[in-house]
Structure 1
Amino acid sequence: MKTAIIYASKHGTTQKVADEISNHLARHEVALFNIRKHSKIDLSLYDQVILGGSIHAGTIQQSLQRFINQNTTVLLQKKLALFLCCMYEKEAQKQFENAFPEILRNHASSCQCVGGEFIFENMNLLEKLMTKKIAGISQSVSRINHKKIKELSLAMD
């Protein structure tokens, strides 16, 4: 089965999750696309699609949102899974609902909030200051939920 994993990654965490999903789907033909670098993707070439993004300042990346808006009809014709990298567990479900349209969430075989990371080495000064102020975190931390990643992968295998 041909699988497209389409994600938006700024600091590398969402790409790390996409790579882990790809590894779980090793028996499939998998193509990875960072939507920030590949805005045109021919979805007709794929049997199933996995979409992923992360929350920055309360919203998902515009590049992924634009892709979803432009391709909703085609995405509804594919086997679909959705994942979101989010550090705020208490708000994860609400942020997931805000990130992905209800029609896609209802269609998806798997919808997972997979945790996230704050990687200070990859942040600019403003991002570091905001993370310290809002999250109260002053050093890099990883809270990726590998169990949720595995669940999503199994749903698409």
Structure 2
Amino acid sequence: MSVLIVYGTKYGFTTQCVDALASELQDEDIKKINLQTDNLPNLSGFDKIIIGGSIYAGMLRKNVKKFCQENKGIILDKKIGLFITCASDGETAEKQLHSNFDDELYQHATVKDYLGGKFDSEKAKFFDRFIIKMVSKSNKDKPQKIFGIEKERVRLFAEKMNQL
């Protein structure tokens, strides 16, 4: 089977998650497409499509949303998985996952999860650091987890995709 992983990233952490996910998939043909740098192949040649991206200020990358809107008809004919990377976890991350994908696409997806989060202040621009600082202060009761790849979640995501 062939798998297409389509994603958007701002600082590169999502690329790390995609690489970890691809290494766990058992499919023969796996193609990874970063929507910011790569050309999109013909989607009809893939059996499974995995779509994801980073969350910034509660919103999924615009290029991922645009990809989903423009290719929804084709995507809905495939076996799909959806993921996000974010600095939240648990119920907050699940809400962000659900709210950032079209409901029809979300319901059609067999596999849905968040794969971890990381904020690299050295790579971040001033405005991004400011936003993170403000969000962190407003969530004093709920500390932000900014930790890295959730390897077990990646493994389980891949396991479910391998069963399709």
Same fold at TM > 0.5: yes
Please tell me the residue identity of whatever aligns with 1:70.
E
In 1, the alpha carbon distance for the partners of 2:39 and 2:102 equals 19
Q: Does the 8 Å CA contact 2:58/2:96 hold for their aligned counterparts?
A: yes
Moved over 6 A (4+): none
Match of 1:72 in 2: 72
In 2, the alpha carbon distance for the partners of 1:109 and 1:146 equals 19
1:81 aligns with 2:81: yes
Aligned pairs for 1:133-152 within 5 A? 133-136=134-137, 141-152=146-157
Q: How many residues align?
A: 154
1:142 to partner: Cα distance: 2.0
Please tell me the residue identity of whatever aligns with 1:126.
F
1:149 to partner: Cα distance: 0.9
| Amino-acid identity (%) | 27
Match of 1:17 in 2: 17
Q: In structure 2, the residue corresponding to 1:121 is in which secondary structure?
A: coil
1:91 aligns with 2:96: no
Question: After the TM superposition, which of the residue ranges 123-132 and 7-16 deviates more from structure 2?
Answer: 123-132
Cα RMSD for the two superposed structures: 1.7
Match of 1:131 in 2: 132
- TM-score, length-scaled by structure 1: 0.90
Match of 1:58 in 2: 58
Match of 1:105 in 2: 106
Q: Does the 8 Å CA contact 2:94/2:113 hold for their aligned counterparts?
A: no
In 1, the alpha carbon distance for the partners of 2:61 and 2:83 equals 13
1:27 to partner: Cα distance: 4.4
Change (3 A) 1:74 1:27: closer
- TM-score, length-scaled by structure 2: 0.87
Task: Give 5+ residue unaligned stretches, structure 2.
Answer: 138-145
Per-residue Cα deviation, 1:99-125 (whole angstroms, up to 9, x for no partner) = 111211211120001221111122112
Task: Give 5+ residue unaligned stretches, structure 1.
Answer: none
In 2, the alpha carbon distance for the partners of 1:130 and 1:116 equals 16
Per-residue Cα deviation, 1:109-146 (whole angstroms, up to 9, x for no partner) = 2000122111112211221122122225xxxx424211
Q: In structure 2, the residue corresponding to 1:120 is in which secondary structure?
A: coil
In 2, the alpha carbon distance for the partners of 1:61 and 1:122 equals 17
